[in-house]
């Protein structure tokens, strides 16, 4: 039918440079709710340096926008 062959040498991994992914600098915090459940949020390092007291208003903002589920927040702690 066709007089050409599909070569695969152009698909060899050495022909593609590795994709360098920038390191994620955000800090992970666990948000614990009154019903015993928890969710995780990532915040900027500048916010995390002040600890949970600075992260709590951010978590409440996420609740108001619907990005974090509604419910009474019992505690917020940094996850290592």
Q: What is the pTM of this model?
A: 0.70
User: Do residues 36 and 72 touch, judged by C-beta distance below 8 A?
Assistant: no
pLDDT tens profile 26-49: 999 999 999 999 999 999 999 999
Residue 4: the pLDDT is 56
Instruction: Report which DSSP code applies to 55.
Output: H
């Amino acid at each position: 039918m066709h007089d050409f062959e599909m070569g695969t040498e152009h698909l060899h991994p050495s022909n593609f440079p590795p994709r360098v992914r920038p390191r994620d600098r955000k800090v992970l915090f666990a948000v614990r709710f009154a019903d015993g459940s928890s969710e995780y949020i990532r915040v900027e390092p500048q916010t995390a340096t002040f600890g949970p007291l600075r992260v709590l208003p951010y978590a409440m903002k996420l609740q108001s926008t619907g990005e974090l589920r509604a419910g009474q927040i019992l505690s917020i702690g940094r996850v290592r």
